[in-house]
Homo-oligomer: A and B are copies of this chain.
Amino acid sequence: MSEHTSLSRIRCAALHDRVMSAEDAIKYIFSGANVGMSGFTGAGYPKKIPLALADWIRQQHADNHEFKINVWTGASTAPELDGALAEVDGIEMRMPYQSDPTSRARINSGQMQYMDIHLSHVAEYVWFGFFGHLDIAVIEVAGIREDGSLIPAASVGNNKTWIDLADRVILEVNYALNEGLEGMHDIYYGTRLPPNREPVPILKPGDRIGSQYYHCPLDKIVAIVETQAHDRVNAFTEPDDDSRRMAQYIIKFLENEVKKGVLPPELLPIQAGVGNIANAVLFGLGDSQFQNLTAYTEVIQDGMLKLVQDGKLSQVSATALSLSPAAVKNFNDNIDFYRSRIVLRTQEISNHPEVIRRLGVIAINGMIECDIYGNVNSTHITGSTIVNGIGGSGDFTRNAFLSFFVRPSIAKNGDISAIVPMVSHTDHTEHDVQILVTEQGLADLRGLSPKQRAETIIENCAHPDYKEQLRDYFQRAKQQSNRGQHTPHILSEALSWHDRFEKTGSMKK
């Protein structure tokens, strides 16, 4: 990372005296502070300050001084933030989402407290005062305009809320960001505390309802650090056979819903979670006959960008970009084209139940496992160990027109079944789970009672290696459960697969 101190992107001269090094800027961050940082799925997070802070914390701890902060973000960040601060045990409480191996390890070893909450709840709960006072905001921007307004970076997340609520704001101006980002964002200032809320006036995914900039009172900005550093890149993986197969099940299903008149020919706005299967679905849509698609989602990955590039996706609303190096290049080379088709919003709005429901979003999300009744676990291994967090999956899946959960039917070389008798942790109850997809097939659960769901899930989605085991459990549960024929379970056995996996390394009997 080369130093870039030309001030050329800080066009508000009154702020020049606040430009300083990261080492100086961090003096505003005190132990015990609640710090709202920018960052969503590895985009738009501050590049220097967390590292400088981590160094400082390491020194403090070496001198036997306590130093921990509470870190609130949009969603996940990067090794330079979550990894660095976790490594020095600098985080007391993390909220609402993380995906870093180091922070994950700290959380799972009990050294860091963590709250994963619905991403749409973060801005409002902080505003309500549920988590205490927001002391400092640390926000990455692409530039500062003459009037002091701030050009957002490659993610918006909760930055508007952090800026609004924090006592003090520290900015990072990242010169590596394409200046063509300017104009791509829609920062809505119309949200209010109840009882003064009004409708969010979005009727179509691409509707612009706010400002292109963050607005921050100048006297709140205590420090500005200039950087030149790229967002965490995501390696692009070609969809594998399983992903392609799952994508095809979904696309055939959607085609059939259009034939039945349940879905319009241009479908409805799509939400796709991050990951290879989501990418595969999007690539599959690119090869399909569908035209004039739209998306109302959280993150724009390679697959979605390609749909925009190919003219298949006419409007995309998200809160963050999360692209591979090749896609970043494509994006930068054609930024004017993309700016007219992409809008990056606050996650308060990208994940807003009101809008998701109004638009009738088709939600496609991954999962860790689901049980025979269709309850989904998105976050925990064997009930106790967290992977990432619920993220926005609940916002979308509860309010979706159609809610898909997708995952390969086995993992760890066949030692783990994605379909189990009972999930070891529930993130989405069966009420919110309409369609399950594995490489084995698709289970349409709409209109089915729990036992009917179980038959369909085991038949269509379970791996052949586990199908008999599941049928056997289901059969015996029905036999043994005299008065419990609605959702038959054998409680002494329901979690035994996970237990067996913990003890023997495999779920197989």
How many Å lie between the Cα of A156 and that of B317 in the bound state? 36
The stretch that binds B, out of A111-119, A138-146, A162-170, is A111-119
CB-based contact B491/A197 at 8 Å: no
> Is the C-beta of A215 less than 8 angstroms from some C-beta in chain B?
no
A399 cross-chain contacts in B, Cβ below 8 A: 353
- What does the 1/0 interface line of A371-408 toward B look like (CB < 8 Å)? 00001000011111110001000100011010000000
CB-based contact A491/B382 at 8 Å: yes
CB-based contact A357/B354 at 8 Å: yes
Interface residues of A in 231-261 (CB under 8 A from B): 260-261
Interface size on A, residues (CB 8 A): 88
How many Å lie between the Cα of A177 and that of B354 in the bound state? 36
CB-based contact A449/B485 at 8 Å: no
How many Å lie between the Cα of A413 and that of B144 in the bound state? 67
Q: Which residue of B lies closest to A362 (CB)?
A: B194
CB-based contact B128/A484 at 8 Å: no
CB-based contact B431/A429 at 8 Å: no
> Is the C-beta of A123 less than 8 angstroms from some C-beta in chain B?
no
- What does the 1/0 interface line of A111-137 toward B look like (CB < 8 Å)? 001111110010001001111100000
Given contacts A113-B449, A384-B484, A495-B495, contact A204 B195 (CB under 8 A): yes
Q: Point out the residue from B132, B358, B385, B494 that lies within 8 Å of A197, measured CB to CB.
A: B358
Taken together, the copies of this chain in the complex come to 2
Q: Is the interface of A mostly helix, strand, loop or mixed?
A: loop
A195 cross-chain contacts in B, Cβ below 8 A: 204, 264, 268-269, 359-360
- What does the 1/0 interface line of A38-54 toward B look like (CB < 8 Å)? 00000000000000000
Interface residues of A in 83-125 (CB under 8 A from B): 93, 107-110, 113-118, 121, 125
A220 cross-chain contacts in B, Cβ below 8 A: none
How many Å lie between the Cα of A429 and that of B125 in the bound state? 17
Q: Which residue of B lies closest to A482 (CB)?
A: B109
The stretch that binds B, out of A276-284, A322-330, A419-427, is A419-427
> Is the C-beta of A492 less than 8 angstroms from some C-beta in chain B?
yes
Given contacts A204-B195, A385-B486, A495-B495, contact A110 B424 (CB under 8 A): no
Q: Which residue of B lies closest to A202 (CB)?
A: B199
> Is the C-beta of A487 less than 8 angstroms from some C-beta in chain B?
yes
Given contacts A194-B358, A478-B110, contact A384 B426 (CB under 8 A): no
CB-based contact A117/B498 at 8 Å: no
Shortest CB distance A4–B (Å): 39
> Is the C-beta of A62 less than 8 angstroms from some C-beta in chain B?
no
Q: Which residue of B lies closest to A361 (CB)?
A: B194
CB-based contact A359/B130 at 8 Å: no
Given contacts A354-B354, A383-B491, contact A452 B203 (CB under 8 A): no
Shortest CB distance A277–B (Å): 23
Most buried by B among A201, A386, A484, A499: A484
> Is the C-beta of A16 less than 8 angstroms from some C-beta in chain B?
no
CB-based contact B128/A401 at 8 Å: yes
> Is the C-beta of A448 less than 8 angstroms from some C-beta in chain B?
yes
> Is the C-beta of A481 less than 8 angstroms from some C-beta in chain B?
yes
Given contacts A199-B201, A491-B499, contact A449 B93 (CB under 8 A): yes
CB-based contact B113/A483 at 8 Å: no
How many Å lie between the Cα of A383 and that of B373 in the bound state? 12
Given contacts A128-B401, A399-B353, A492-B499, contact A385 B484 (CB under 8 A): yes
Q: Which residue of B lies closest to A358 (CB)?
A: B197
A24 cross-chain contacts in B, Cβ below 8 A: none
CB-based contact B449/A114 at 8 Å: yes
CB-based contact B499/A447 at 8 Å: no
CB-based contact B375/A426 at 8 Å: yes
